[in-house]
Amino acid sequence: MSITLSVIKADVGGYVGHSESHPDVIAKAGEYMAKAKKDGLLVDYHVTKCGDDLQLIMTHQQGEEDEKIHKLAWDTFVAGTEVAKKLKLHGAGQDLLSDAFSGNIKGMGPGTAEMEFEERAAETIIIFMADKTSAGAWNMPLYKMFADPFNTIGLVIAENMHTGFTFEVHDVKEHKKITFNAPDEIYDMLVLIGAPSRYVVKAVYHRGTGEIAAVSSTQKLALIAGRYVGKDDPVCIVRSQGQFPAVGEVLEPFATPVLVEGWMRGSHMGPLMPVSIPDSTPSRFDGPPRVVCIGFQLAGGSLVGPRDMFADKAFDLAREEANLMADMMRRHGPFEPHRLPLDEMEYTTMPQVMRKLEGRFTDLE
Ligand code: F6R
Ligand code: MG
Ligand code: MG
């Protein structure tokens, strides 16, 4: 059975500030999803949140980038925005950069990750969602899952994974894409994906079967809007088990937190902390950045689950370490490398400050 899994997300209003989603907004989204399921457009759905981001997880048989599915998501975000406005939530409708839907939600503000595949006898699906960080935050985790034998022992000892994986990498500034085969081309690939603010891993494919293994949202809000309007807060879908990394191999990259861009005003480096869904409430200095993870088994497109994967005690140490890293970064205050380098600040106050100071610069002797 061919099924499409669409994860479409948007920040339509924060409660309190940008720290959490209001239950009424989530409930309103649930009403829209329930109706679409009743009408037969959706096979199944799950509505959740990561911090201030509303997450629509939908299964259907319309294929990727389907207008009806994208319109459903858009209408759901508009309805959520109305609730947010009524409650005077913060930044109501902040990610809806357009006034009206125009056929495809991509480029309109919300983030999308979609994949169509033949459902396997047992189809294990892992969905990552992040808050207070940008597209590109999945580069290192995806590299570890699908190309690093120190993370994924299956690459070494599982016959059905030994051929490796193909990575599709997008240059989000030049709107170009390129594919790399791992392990043969990992050194070339790392030159690019090691710069996640520009090169973003969009998708990963099994090299033997060509099957889709992972897909991420690559929308860059600042590039769409031309100014800072909130961070991308990306999502990522990973198929797991069998010819794909096991659940534990998919989760393992998050056991050792690393620094990502985002956090306060989208302008800082901070640790990506793996947390349960209820703990995705970034508060300290509007952070630190969070990642949540839910898992499902698919049964004829029905979402059996979710399991809240980072609720596991085994991620306690990662959380503690992330808090220590947060402390270490915070002591830099407005200095790099806590604050982002200048070229990454071009979508914040930088241009105005530079305009104001322009006439005051004089030549050095
Ligand atoms: C970061 C984020 C917050 C806001 C900050 C200011 O992604 O959402 O850190 O940038 O709280 O928010 P505004 O400008 O909405 O008052
Ligand atoms: Mg927000
Ligand atoms: Mg957010």
Ligand 1: atom nearest CA of 231 is: 7
- From the list 37, 106, 228, 279, the catalytic residue is 228
Side chain identity, residue 258: V
DSSP-H helix ranges across the chain: 23-38, 67-86, 139-147, 154-157, 186-193, 221-225, 247-251, 316-330, 350-357
9: left (phi over 0), alpha (psi -120 to 50) or beta: beta
- Mean local confidence (pLDDT), 29-54: 98
- Mean local confidence (pLDDT), 251-262: 97
**Residues, Cβ < 5 Å to ion ligand 2:** 11, 14, 18, 52, 91
- From the list 231, 233, 286, 347, the catalytic residue is 231
Instruction: Rounding to the nearest 10 degrees, give the CA dihedral for residues 326, 332, 334, 335.
Output: -120
Which of 97, 84, 108 minimizes the C-alpha distance to 15?
84
Looking at residue 156, what is its pLDDT? 98
Q: Is the CB of 231 under 6 A from ligand 1?
A: yes
Known catalytic membership, residue 132: no
Name the pLDDT band for 346 (thresholds 50, 70, 90): low
What is the spatial distance between Cα 94 and Cα 283, in angstroms, rounded to a whole number?
A: 19
Looking at residue 354, what is its pLDDT? 86
Known catalytic membership, residue 231: yes
Side chain identity, residue 150: F
One-character DSSP codes across 282-311? --BTTBS-EEEEEEEEEETTEEEEEEEGGG
Q: How far is the CA of 18 from the centre of ligand 1 (A)?
A: 6
Instruction: Rounding to the nearest 10 degrees, give the CA dihedral for residues 15, 265, 294, 272.
Output: -140
What is the spatial distance between Cα 109 and Cα 122, in angstroms, rounded to a whole number?
A: 34
- What average pLDDT does the chain have? 96
pLDDT digits (tens, 9 = 90+) for 102-160: 899 998 999 999 999 999 999 999 999 999 999 999 999 999 999 999 999 999 999 99
Q: How far is the CA of 230 from the centre of ligand 1 (A)?
A: 6
pLDDT digits (tens, 9 = 90+) for 165-199: 999 999 999 999 999 999 999 999 999 999 999 99
Which residue has its alpha carbon closest to ligand 1 atom 14?
A: 265
Distance, C-alpha 31 to centroid of its chain:
24
One-character DSSP codes across 76-134? HHHHHHHHHHHTT-BTTTTT--SSS--S--TTSS-EEEEEEEEPPSSEEEEEEEEESB-
CB 152 within 8 A of CB 144: yes
Q: Is the CB of 130 under 6 A from ligand 1?
A: no
Higher per-residue pLDDT: 350 or 115: 115
CB 64 within 8 A of CB 78: no
Cβ neighbourhood burial of 159 (10 Å; 0-12, 13-18, 19+) = exposed
Which of 89, 92, 61, 58 minimizes the C-alpha distance to 78?
92
DSSP letter assigned to residue 32:
H
Looking at residue 230, what is its pLDDT? 81
Q: How far is the CA of 122 from the centre of ligand 1 (A)?
A: 41
Measured at the alpha carbon of residue 361, what is the angle toward residues 358 and 365, in degrees to the nearest 5?
A: 155
Is the pTM for the entire model greater than 0.95?
A: yes
Q: Three-state SS for 36?
A: helix
Side chain identity, residue 209: T
Which residue has its alpha carbon closest to ligand 1 atom 15?
A: 91
Element (H, E) at 179: strand 176-182
Q: First CA to last CA across the chain, in angstroms?
A: 73
Ligand 1: atom nearest CA of 265 is: 10
